[in-house]
């Protein structure tokens, strides 16, 4: 399988590590060759017979660049690479953009799909802003557009619903889907401030680059929109989500909730109202008997409601980059198996 | 899809209700025709062009028999029905038998698979005692042997691992997998006795017919063996599980644990030790921060450990017959899609 990376941050690096150390994982039989790596800041590399990932990871670690020899850098932009290179799958891992409504990632994905190339992406932007369009484009061109890691760090949520509930209709969901705010709220329960919490989450490497994405609820709104669109047939964007952040929470209100046997959690919800679907992201008081109450640190959880099962809850305990990277790899396996790629 | 039922208790009745009321479930596009219903106590019915399920359910409710006209009863035994009738899928729903090591259900299933007929079963016996043999027999004859509802009342656990973790290796699990003992332990925390708890679970219709199956840990041992065999490549039986029941628990010990901020739970575990796999069912003290602590009543939960993801936990909140019935229907959908049946 020939892979083109657009975006080569922590998730791509962890995927590369797994590719390099594939022998550690007995069930992982994915044959991959990375033919292109394109980034916003470090330029791009292309190599038909496969890029040496060990060398790239070393170079990034030692000198924060893709290659020691600048002459090796490609003259293509990421979009041009998606348009012209010879690859099987685009792995799109650029950062979430609300302002630009999923761009430029959506354009990278569109370009690949138009060429009949499949896409695996951990990016929430395109799936929350452009799902219907991209899905139809993929179907028209015999390609797949998959995004398991866009929500819940690669824990199988989209696949759970599409592969394990084939006869059931999802009618709603609720969940904790933003680790950073969950961490900050826990920190406030101990008397810490919002600002301290943000700083600690940034130091732990889990906060979005722009704190507003987390703190003002944009990241969970993108996730809620993605779930509503993919699982419930909705056609909304993150801008349509009834959105609340955690800026109004103080250490005092967080501690007051704890005193009353509750915890404050930033909950995402999706529900149906006749033929319409809605989503919200709100700070809610959660009871001590509720599993959401036990989601601490960067964990996440989602409760899925359907017509043929009582609610199932999926909990992702202490996720890190391994989970997000594996979610994308799971998408690659699906693409390989569905399209008969080698 | 032509279906033969062996066993026609509560799960089969709920499946029949769903078939009858199919229009209530927009995503459920399963075309089914029940060509045989065979039971241990009520005899059997067979009808090539489809049994009238509404009539059978009415008759069972009104007079606890399959038909008002005894001349309609088949002269076949369940095993003979599996051997001779014209059907696509055997739905095996007879009760768990530890003493008889999964028989007679295993023979029903074997007979169907030998004829190249697929099997969907909620019965823990055959999958815990005979998985390897039955799986190989299915593969040899181009049939499927599925059992999603054998563990966790149809919550997608086997499918989660096989369909959503394709590149990962399951290295272990832990879970609460027996609703009856979980209910009884909760009852004891309120000062109730084992005997009262058993009686209440029986009245609620969730206890196994023989209380020893639950209270002495046989039901969870069968489930633990099934998980070890299916998910971890083991080849053990419920008799190999390090088995404990809840008979040694008293209201005092249950309440003492609560006083210390813990709860007593009957936990199933599976783990690897070199090339060997092991399983246990034991009363363990669970910390208040552990999600297992919040599993009350008849709920269940399982934590899955793998090499490529941090633990995922699946929680089944308040399951009832709907969930078990749907799990079997999900298996029927898989069989239809995999084998191209109509």
Highest average pLDDT, of A199-208, A285-294, B201-210, comes from A285-294
Nearest CA in chain B to A326: B308
Higher pLDDT, B114 or B320: B114
Distance from CA of B121 to the nearest CA of A (A): 16
Residue B182 corresponds to which tokens in the numbers above?
């979980």
Distance from CA of A12 to the nearest CA of B (A): 15
pLDDT tens sequence across B293-330: 999 888 899 999 999 999 999 999 888 899 999 999 99
Domain of residue A34, CATH code: 3.40.50.720
Read off φ and ψ for residue A317, nearest 5 degrees.
-85, 125
Using a CB-CB cut-off of 8 Å, the residues of chain B touching A294 are 289-291, 293-294
Whether residue B120 is predicted with pLDDT greater than 90 in this model: the reply is yes
Provide the pLDDT confidence category of residue A342 given band limits of 50, 70 and 90: low
Residues B112 and B188 grouped into a single domain: no
Distance of CA A151 to the CA centre of its chain: 5
Is the Cβ pair A159, B163 closer than 8 Å?
A: yes
pLDDT tens sequence across A106-115: 999 999 999 9
Residues A140 and A173 grouped into a single domain: no
Residues A215 and A230 grouped into a single domain: yes
Residues B134 and B111 grouped into a single domain: yes
Provide the pLDDT confidence category of residue B1 given band limits of 50, 70 and 90: very high
Residues B136 and B244 grouped into a single domain: no
Q: What is the pLDDT of residue A239?
A: 96
* Interface residue A152 vs chain B (CB under 8 A): no
Contacts of A246 (CB under 8 A, 6+ apart): A181, A184, A185, A194, A215, A217, A266, A283
- Average the pLDDT over B111-120 and give the result: 98
Q: What is the pLDDT of residue A175?
A: 97
Q: What is the pLDDT of residue A99?
A: 81
- The closest CB to that of B323, out of A159, A167, A310, belongs to A310
Residues A172 and A248 grouped into a single domain: yes
Using a CB-CB cut-off of 8 Å, the residues of chain A touching B169 are 25-27
* Interface residue A326 vs chain B (CB under 8 A): yes
- Average the pLDDT over A177-181 and give the result: 94
Provide the pLDDT confidence category of residue A208 given band limits of 50, 70 and 90: confident
Number of domains in chain A: 2
Is the Cβ pair B322, A329 closer than 8 Å?
A: no
Strands (E), chain A: 2-6, 33-38, 44-46, 89-92, 118-121, 145-146, 170-176, 242-243, 262-273, 276-287, 300-306, 312-316
Is the Cβ pair A291, B289 closer than 8 Å?
A: no
Residues B184 and B169 grouped into a single domain: yes
pLDDT tens sequence across B68-100: 999 999 999 999 999 999 999 999 999 877 888
Whether residue A85 is predicted with pLDDT greater than 70 in this model: the reply is yes
Contact A12, A39 (CB under 8 A): no
Domain of residue A292, CATH code: 3.30.360.10
Using a CB-CB cut-off of 8 Å, the residues of chain B touching A167 are 25, 27-30, 326, 329-330, 333
Residue B324 corresponds to which tokens in the numbers above?
């078990």
Q: Positive or negative, the Cα torsion across A326, A150, A293, B201? A: negative
Helix A10-20 to helix A321-339 angle (10° resolution) is 70
Nearest CA in chain A to B311: A317
pLDDT tens sequence across A152-171: 988 999 999 999 999 999 99
Q: How far is CA A216 from CA A114, A219, A281, B335, in A?
A: 35, 8, 10, 46
Residues B187 and B304 grouped into a single domain: yes
Pick from B263, B293, B228, B305: nearest CA to A318? B305
Per the prediction, chain B carries an average pLDDT of 95
Asked if residue B104 has a cis previous peptide bond (ω within 30° of 0), the answer is yes
* Interface residue B23 vs chain A (CB under 8 A): no
Q: What is the pLDDT of residue B98?
A: 81
Contact B209, B95 (CB under 8 A): yes
- The closest CB to that of A319, out of B154, B310, B329, belongs to B310
Is the Cβ pair A166, B318 closer than 8 Å?
A: no
Nearest CA in chain B to A303: B315
- The closest CB to that of A317, out of B30, B168, B311, belongs to B311
User: What percent of chain B lies above the pLDDT cut of 70?
Assistant: 100
Owning domain of residue B141? 2-155+322-339
Provide the pLDDT confidence category of residue A148 given band limits of 50, 70 and 90: very high
Whether residue B208 is predicted with pLDDT greater than 80 in this model: the reply is no
Nearest CA in chain A to B287: A294
Geometric angle at alpha carbon B167, from A332 and A231, rounded to 5°: 60
Is the Cβ pair B316, A310 closer than 8 Å?
A: yes
Is the Cβ pair A311, B317 closer than 8 Å?
A: yes
Q: What is the pLDDT of residue B342?
A: 66
Contacts of A272 (CB under 8 A, 6+ apart): A171, A172, A232, A278
Is the Cβ pair A317, B310 closer than 8 Å?
A: yes
* Interface residue A316 vs chain B (CB under 8 A): yes
Q: How far is CA A187 from CA A128, A254, A263, A296, in A?
A: 29, 9, 12, 10
Using a CB-CB cut-off of 8 Å, the residues of chain A touching B320 are 310
Read off φ and ψ for residue B102, nearest 5 degrees.
85, 0
Residues A134 and A278 grouped into a single domain: no
Residues A94 and A129 grouped into a single domain: yes
Residues B285 and B240 grouped into a single domain: yes
Nearest CA in chain B to A28: B167
Chains A, B: CB contacts under 8 A, how many? 152
pLDDT tens sequence across B25-41: 999 999 999 999 999 98
- The closest CB to that of B169, out of A27, A291, A323, belongs to A27
Distance from CA of B156 to the nearest CA of A (A): 6
Using a CB-CB cut-off of 8 Å, the residues of chain B touching A261 are none
Contact A310, B323 (CB under 8 A): yes
- Average the pLDDT over A133-145 and give the result: 97
Largest CA distance in chain A: 64
- Average the pLDDT over B206-216 and give the result: 86
- Which of B186, B233, B290, B308 is the best substitution to test chain A (most A C-beta atoms within 10 A)? B308
Is the Cβ pair A309, B323 closer than 8 Å?
A: yes
Residues A262 and A170 grouped into a single domain: yes
């Amino acid at each position: 399988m020939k892979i083109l990376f657009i975006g080569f941050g922590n998730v791509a690096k962890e995927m590369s590590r797994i590719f390099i150390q594939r022998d550690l994982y007995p069930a992982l039989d994915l044959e991959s060759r990375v033919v292109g790596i394109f980034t916003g800041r470090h330029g791009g590399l292309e190599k038909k017979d496969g890029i040496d990932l060990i060398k790239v990871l070393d170079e990034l670690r030692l000198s924060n660049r893709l290659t020691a020899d600048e002459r090796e850098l490609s003259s293509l932009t990421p979009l041009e690479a998606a348009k012209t290179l010879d690859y099987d799958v685009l792995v799109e891992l650029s950062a979430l953009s609300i302002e630009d409504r999923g761009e430029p990632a959506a354009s990278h994905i569109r370009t690949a799909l138009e060429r009949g190339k499949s896409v695996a992406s951990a990016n929430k932007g395109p799936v929350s802003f452009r799902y219907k369009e991209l899905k139809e484009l993929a179907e028209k061109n015999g390609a797949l557009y998959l995004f398991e890691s866009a929500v819940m760090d690669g824990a199988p949520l989209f696949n759970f619903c599409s592969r394990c509930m084939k006869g059931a209709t999802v009618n709603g969901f609720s969940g904790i889907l933003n680790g950073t705010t969950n961490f900050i709220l826990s920190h406030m329960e101990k008397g810490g401030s919002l600002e301290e919490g943000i700083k600690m989450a940034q130091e732990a490497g889990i906060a979005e680059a722009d704190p507003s994405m987390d703190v003002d609820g944009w990241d969970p709104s993108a996730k809620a929109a993605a779930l509503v669109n993919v699982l419930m047939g909705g056609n909304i964007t993150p801008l349509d989500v009834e959105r609340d952040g955690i800026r109004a929470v103080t250490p005092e209100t967080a501690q007051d909730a704890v005193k009353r046997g509750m915890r404050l959690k930033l909950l995402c919800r999706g529900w149906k109202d006749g033929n319409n679907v809605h989503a919200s992201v709100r700070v809610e008081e959660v009871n001590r008997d509720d599993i959401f109450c036990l989601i601490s640190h960067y964990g996440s959880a989602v409760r899925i409601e359907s017509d043929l099962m009582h609610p199932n809850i999926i909990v992702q305990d202490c996720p890190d980059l391994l989970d997000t990277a594996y979610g994308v790899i799971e998408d690659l396996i699906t693409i390989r198996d569905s399209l008969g790629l080698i």
